[in-house]
Every structure is written in structure tokens, then in C-alpha cells.
Structure 1
């Protein structure tokens, strides 16, 4: 059976906020610069300014004063424009590419803006912007040549610098995406672990509720039947009254004992019970005791079993059969009081175990008994979990039948 784990909405949103490439990613959700952002931006600004000063000195030696002044102004503006690289990385890179053609002092700022594009944009955008940058660098060599360096060597150095800066930026982007993907995976793993715990707790609660219904319903039904007999037959012989009172006392004691055990399971895990003796779970061999108990309570029941050695049946299968018969007898006592019940048991290793519980039509009018049908639903679930099947429904003679088959490995 395939299970789909549905993540809590708050954890999904948190995972999306930290996920790679999403609108809530690390870059998309920042509205204010952190201390780290300020340090990085300031460092890039200072590096771009340093490169610009070196280029300005070279420009002043080989250009007129007006050209050198214009070059310095453009370089300063380019360095100041780097503070906008987080908001408009592509536009800034294209603008500085154009400025870098005529102003070598903007070269440092141009490389910093190209680095920002490589960090924040996908490869397709980085590729064409890088092509524009290499074209601009090549044109700049011819527009503002450096007499001390060969033109071809200068062009090659510019292209190499652009490739190195672009590769560095893409490496940083890949590392960030990896970190964000790991964070996303950790958040989802935490959410799935929380869901597994919740589902395990829910399944445990359902198992405990099913066990409480199967056990306590039988005991409380006995209490109800004999208490009703005492109510409607106050003139009954003392022996019958004493017998009914004894059954009520014994059923109440057993119900309290069962309830105490279930509450004990809820209060402490198995490893904390300190080896305390637990009440043994019913097996297929316990079925005779159940039949004797309901007979003593005044119910007419016939047990027809072909299982010669019930002790060899698997414990889980025997317990499931016991609970099915117990619930069927409880329903027969509630909805068909006085009717005869037949329990038939067939099976052997390798063929499986078949159990049938049939009751005849009720004798006389039946007082309304509250019931939600959850017991039969629980029996069907129990049989399915054991690898078998269970069916139930009215019979043609007005009675009711429960039929179940359970596996019995060879």
C-alpha cells in the first residue's frame, strides 16, 4: 500500500522560502542588507575603486587632462553604481559594459557587476551577458589602447578576466543552490519525521480504541443484560438474583481490570514497565473459556470446532478469531436476546482458518439498543490487517451471520 505523506503547511512554506530558485529563495526574500551583505558590498566597492585608481594613473599618462578627468568621473560613478547591483544586476552589467568601452577606470566596477550577474542569474542570461562583456572588452582595447601592452595580449587578458570572474560567480551560485537544496531537504525530512510520529501515534490510538471496544463491549453487555433482568424480574427466585449479581460483579471486575491494563499502556512505554507481569492475550485456545463464560451468563451457544490442536495456531490469528467471536456474541446478545448462536470453526495449517458465527432470529420484541456499527467495522479492519477477510449480514431466516477467513501458514 502506498502512503502519501502530506506536509504541514507551515513547514512547506518554510521549505519553499529556503528552496533553490524559488521566489522565496535566499536572494528573493531579502528586503534589507545584512551585516554580511554590507561587508561584501563594501569590499567589492573598494576593490573596484582600487582597480579604477590603477587604470586612472595609466590613463593620465597617455591621455589629455580632459579625457583623464572624464575617465575618472565615469570610473567614480561606476564604482558608486555598484551599490545597485543587488537590485538591477543585469541592467547595471549592460550599462557598465557600455561605459567600459570609453572609460578603463570602470573596468573594476564592470567585473564586479558581471560577478553579480553570474551569482544571481541562470546560465542562459549569464552566457549572453558574458558575450556582450567580452565584445565590450575587445572594443575597448581598440578605442582606448594601452601603448605599453600588445593589443592582442590586452584583448586576451580582458577575455580571460571576464571568463574567470563569470566562472567564479557561477561557482558561488552553485554552492548557494546546494546549501539551499540541503536546507530544503532537511526541512522536508523534519516535516516527514513529524508526520510519521503523528501517524504512528494515531495508529496506536486506533489500536487501543479497537481493543477497548472489543474487550469492554463484551463485559459491559453482560452487565447490561443481567442488570436489565434484575430490573424487569424483581420477583425472581433468590438463586437467580444471586447468580445475576455474581455475573455483574465478575464482569465489572474484569472490565475494570481490562481498562486498568489499557490505561497502563497509555501511561508508560513498554520499556518502562519494569518487567511487570502482564495479562496474557487471548489465543485460539481461549475460545472455549469465552464460550463457557457466555453460557454461564445464560446465552444458548453451540461451538462446532474441527481444530484439533488450537494451541498450534499463530498467536495473532488466534487472537483475531477470539475478538471476532467475542464481538459477534456481544452483538447477538444485544440485538437478538434469547436466540441460539452457533460458532463454527474450520481450518488447518496451509489452508487457513474459517470462523462462522450465526444467530437465529430474535425471540419476541427486541428493545432498542444503542450501537454505531463500529464494532463490525473494527472487525473488518482487524481481519484485513491479519491478511484475511470478513463479511457480515442478515440471513434469510431473520438472523445474522459473521463469516471470516484468516491465513494459517503451513
Structure 2
């Protein structure tokens, strides 16, 4: 019989693993039990596996082997003077029934093995069917069942050969040989079972690995979207605040000189255009479900002067104390974080403390880290409430933490507000 003999799915081998694609086209040459274990739908529905072409070949081979062993036993019975004719006839009838029962081994492996134990004790011709039933049990059931049935068969061997001695083989040879044969059959079946379990385990691990890879990809996509959202908040908040400031100037100074009105209108138009352009790009990225691959350059610490100049053009009073000799030496991630901190600080000062002079201080050196501070004094007079959710400062804190630094913000003793961050800058 084949070492890859298949059978009914074992409860130990259950698992929701997909039928492997490499079996497609040759599933009829795979054991039905293995296909059943690798088919999650069949396992959940509790359907019995259908015999494959290989199963029919193996089952017929097992039946033929049982018949051949029984035929050899019939010849030995006829030559044994210790067995009367009526007992030989009963033995042959019992052996025929045992051989026919081999076809049920897939459906009831434990029941067949248990039933074969007394049959093989009273019938020589049922010996082949009994070995096949024991092998099937070892393949499809846990070791505790195999140990009990196999142990009983091995324990009955001395009594069997004492009651029905072999005419040609001595007693002291027959008993060890029968026990060794039982152990070999059980070991072979357990080896096949272990191989089946390994196959199912590998398929299950492959499925889990694919699922984990999909989860990691989804998480990476979600993190990329969150990063895009933070970038969008920083960019749009800055540009829309500039637009609001100039629009407010036009509203409260309708008698402004034409040149100043034209300049403010130009800033509004340019800010609105850039905001819409950034919004289109980000929406396109989100619709595509992919990270931002437009190649748009990200701001670094070197763009800080441009940011301050843009704020001054909008009418803000900004004092920049930039004491970093070569901004190009700052790591890009650290420089981008510092830029966003200053950008958000200027945006908040413009909204909540209009007309005040904002002080931006950037200091640091390789090995000492980079310190960024945005401070504004308390505003003069009443400031109309400006809607805000505080998400900007939360996002800045998260940015600084991801960069390996820390960020603090809050009111100063004199009533102003300060955002202060310390970022790492290795040697």
C-alpha cells in the first residue's frame, strides 16, 4: 500500500486554509483528505471528502493486498494439522468479510480498527485487513487511539500464537515478529500523519503570512494617508490664513490706495490658486490610494527665510533669529519638521494674536540637537474668537515625537504663547 494513503479528515488536521493553487489541474492525484483539510469551505460545512482517482487506486490496492494475505493464510491453514476443517471454513468466511470491510476504512477508521482486533484473533485470513485497518487508524486519528488499539493487538500476539501455533515457525520467533510488525505499521502510519500535518501547517502559515502582509500594506497605506492629511493641514492652514488676512484688510479698508488693493488681491489670488493646486494633488493621491509620488519637493530648514518673508508680505511682524550656520547640513526629516513647526506657529499667531510681533528662533549644531521656538506676546485689545480644533498643535507634537524629539506649547507668564521644540541632530 502507498505511504501517502489518504483518508477521512482528522479533527487534529482541521484548519481554514485555502486549497493550494498548485494543486489545480491535478487534484485527482491528491489524497481527498488532504484536499478536504486545505478547503476551508468544505471544512466549515462538514462535508465528507469525495474520493479522488488516487483514492480509488489506493483503496483497491489495499483490498487486493488484504485478499492476497488472506489467500496465503488459507494455504497455511490447509497445511496446519492443528486446525480442523470447520474452523478453517469459519476462518475463511471471517477473512472474506474483513477484506470487504476494508472499503469502509475511510469512513470509520477507529470503528474498523476496533472491530478487526477480535477478528484477527480468531481468523488468520483477516490478518491483512487488520494491518490495513491499524495503518489507517494511525494516519487519521490521534496517537491515544492508536496506542490503545495497537497495544491491544501487540498484547494479544503471545496468546494468539499460544492458542494457534504456527506449524513452520517457532513460538519464540512468531511472537516478536508479530509485535515488530505491529509497531512498524503504527510507525509508518504516524509518519504519514505527521507529513499530512506538516503540509496543512505550511499552508496555514502561508495563508497567515499573506494575511499579515495585506494588513501591513493596509497599515502602511493608512499611515501614508495620515501623513498626507497632516501635510495638507499645514499647507492649507498657512495659505488660507494668508488669504483671510488680506481679505480682511480689503474689507476694513475700502478706501485703501489702488496699488495696495491690487497687491492684496494678487496675494489672495495667488494663495487661493496654490491652495487649490495642493488640494487637487492631495485628492488625486487619496483617490489613487497610494502615497504621494508626484515628486513635489518637501520644505526643509533652508526654506524658512521664504516662509518668514511670505508672512511679512501678509502684514505680519516677524523677527527671525536663525543661528544655524548651514541649514543644508540638517537632516531632511528634522528640517521638514522644524519648518512645519514654524509654519503652524505663525499661522496660530496670525489667527489668535494679530498685530503682535512674532519671534522665531532656530538654534542648534550637530550633536547638540536643533531647538525651534515660536513666541508671540499677548494681543492688544479684544480678539474675535477664531474657530479651531487644536489639531494643528496635536499634529506638531506627533511630528516631533516621530522625529525623535519633543514639543511643548502653552501660555507664557506675561500672557503670550510659545511653541518650543527640541529635535535630534546627530553628528
Matched, 1:74 2:94: yes
Q: Deviations over 1:36-84 (max 9, x none)?
A: 4444333322322222232233324443332122112221222233344
Alignment match of 1:326 (pick from 334, 338, 343):
343
**1:361-400 superposed matches below 5 A:** 361-400=378-417
Q: Indicate the residue corresponding to 1:58 in structure 2.
A: 76
Q: Against the structure 1 CA distance between its residues 238 and 271, is the aligned structure 2 distance closer, same or farther, given a 3 Å change threshold?
A: closer
Q: Indicate the residue corresponding to 1:48 in structure 2.
A: 66
Q: Indicate the residue corresponding to 2:9 in structure 1.
A: none
Q: Indicate the residue corresponding to 2:29 in structure 1.
A: none
Q: Distance in 1 between matches of 2:320 and 2:15?
A: 60
Q: Against the structure 1 CA distance between its residues 126 and 78, is the aligned structure 2 distance closer, same or farther, given a 3 Å change threshold?
A: same
Secondary structure in 2 matching 1:393? strand
Q: Distance in 2 between matches of 1:61 and 1:407?
A: 95
Matched, 1:162 2:162: no
Q: Distance in 1 between matches of 2:329 and 2:166?
A: 98
**1:5-404 superposed matches below 5 A:** 14-15=16-17, 31-35=48-52, 36-62=54-80, 63-259=83-279, 262=282, 278-404=295-421
Q: Distance in 2 between matches of 1:271 and 1:223?
A: 26
Residue 242 (structure 1) shift? 1.8
CA contact (8 A) 1:395 1:401 kept: yes
Q: Distance in 1 between matches of 2:19 and 2:375?
A: 61
Q: Distance in 2 between matches of 1:320 and 1:38?
A: 69
Residue 13 (structure 1) shift? 6.8
- Superposition misfits of 4+ residues, deviation over 6 angstroms: 268-273
CA contact (8 A) 1:102 1:144 kept: no
Q: Indicate the residue corresponding to 1:8 in structure 2.
A: none
CA contact (8 A) 2:221 2:289 kept: no
Q: Deviations over 1:292-312 (max 9, x none)?
A: 110110112211232233333
Q: Distance in 2 between matches of 1:270 and 1:355?
A: 28
Q: Deviations over 1:4-24 (max 9, x none)?
A: xxxxxxxx9734999xxxxx9
CA contact (8 A) 2:362 2:370 kept: yes
Residue 353 (structure 1) shift? 0.9
Point out the more displaced range, 357-366 or 296-305: 357-366
Q: Distance in 1 between matches of 2:387 and 2:128?
A: 85
CA contact (8 A) 1:101 1:143 kept: no
Residue 149 (structure 1) shift? 2.9
CA contact (8 A) 2:285 2:292 kept: no
Normalised TM-score (structure 2): 0.82
CA contact (8 A) 1:100 1:136 kept: no
Q: Distance in 2 between matches of 1:388 and 1:272?
A: 27
The alignment of Structure 1 onto Structure 2 pairs a total of residues equal to 390
Which consecutive residues of structure 2, in runs of 5 or more, have no partner in the other structure?
1-13, 21-35
Residue 124 (structure 1) shift? 4.3
Q: Distance in 2 between matches of 1:405 and 1:142?
A: 91
CA contact (8 A) 1:216 1:255 kept: yes
Which consecutive residues of structure 1, in runs of 5 or more, have no partner in the other structure?
1-11, 19-23
- Please report the RMSD computed on the Cα atoms of aligned residues, expressed in angstroms: 3.0
Residue 356 (structure 1) shift? 1.0
